[in-house]
Structure 1
């Protein structure tokens, strides 16, 4: 009896799915906790990734990965950070997954920027490993996967995966099924950060068969922050501000995911970084020597005394009236400030972090995704800086 390739594919698919359903049931019994996060800077070494007019993808990816790891280390000291690479070296796709598994990672984040043959496409997207039912993401995944041809003996290492083969692509996509729901949760959080922190087009959360996600035995995502093939987006994503924005978006999503999975702790949201003291000094003229400090100490409040915490309940591309229905029960009570080109609205005020957490709890009873922000006077500052100055 002649057996078609399609029949073999269906049988393999069903067999793998049944196995992974059992694996999922067992995994759900394990306690969820984020103790180790593995950060993967895509490409490296002789694999430059996508190359734009100014920047190379491998360099952007590595810079963002190191920034993200630093943010996690500073704000989540209970989490161990593992990198698949910390320098400009080539690491095979399967080896990246092996690094994550040996580290017993609880989360895998692969950092990339997008590219196509045209300068028109734009936008941000986040991927999970899965079967793309429409076929729209097939070319993007295969393009990333084709770098295995740079590895020695890739046919044995990837257990039969053939570059350009849709059949092996689909089978390998099923291997992350046990972690798909958690992966999708993180990818959705990343995508919401991308679209709220930038004006780039929202390309959504997608499924595709990226081999770099295949061997990771943990929730895993691949992030694509803009198109290096688009000159306008390349200029932004390659800049210092763009790379900081990318890392900050990933951290904010990670913090939200960690709190959601563990069911405890406080979500940390980092806002746009403020200029350093050196940058402030360079941007402002020196104060004339004849200007004396105020004699009244009460009028010369220190920076620490002017730090306050508030709870952000809304953000908008356009200015909203203070009595907008968008604020629910907090209509007429909001404070407005502008950051990152967006109008942001906060309620309440606390002078200490402990009081702020209590305030956040009360506000979240009405608005579930509300979160803390900190201010130095009227200027927003990173929450981590506020906690160092006024715990």
Structure 2
């Protein structure tokens, strides 16, 4: 039969990253395209101990239905932890546990955005979130990035001239894909502009704990005295992405509406995963675990930078990054990015084309994204060597 899809999904296309994964799944290819934590980063032993104890002592807690808002001990702990450690959350805020941070993007957009209204987003930005906005038929307006975050002049112009701007989306720490961190000055300016123009901010912070150099910066949510910021946190990069646990901190009326929407999606987030996250944070040395992750990725980042200096420079350049899991690389003039990505595939190396992260994939782009957390050192070395071969051949 002929299948007639809804208008709001007709224009959606498969994620370029997922398409690349078709090659990456082949063990003969070297995948520098994923965004997965390193296999050795997972706290396997503690999680196994917690799970075994839970199933032995209170299995019904893990197996029965639970509340949509989330496991109360986890919500209470996160509320206190985020206030104490990040000055994030006020009395007018609440917390909602979600099935990964990606669900926050969906629930928030579904709750406040009408078809045709405008979302201002960093350009480039994370493809999964952009596609979520597209599924609700938002008008996407990309704001160009400087080396210290969104260009504030361009942002203010868009706020002044674009119609029906509903919210601003930002990944302020080690942005995916660019690796850029928004400066303190720009964080404050972004908040002030949102307040001035009466729009909300969706602050997505999955990489904030993965800083390898420099000083930590306050969350934008920590400035929020007006209830205009929704903060999205996640355990995916610091405990496990497969457990699918995220958390939203935001104004109570917004989270109440998001909770109603979540009831129609999945009833509640996996309760077994929520209990494991709570007990890992409270019964083990969570801060030592984060320190271990930073040590692991600091070493892998240094290894990648050394490889790129030896094999890619001076033809391919990259933006500086002090944390996160990605390097954003720029090709020299005269080398077509899509052709380069295809050339890399011919050499059995997978990277993600930069156009996948744009609000308009037809815009010119000279960049591609590399992930350094997932591949082994041997794979990373061979992959970067082959990328160097590819660009030299194309020149």
Higher relative contact order (CA 8 A, sep 6+): 2
Q: Tell me if TM exceeds 0.5.
A: no
Scaled by the length of structure 1, the TM-score of the pair is 0.23
Scaled by the length of structure 2, the TM-score of the pair is 0.23
- Bigger Rg, which one: 1
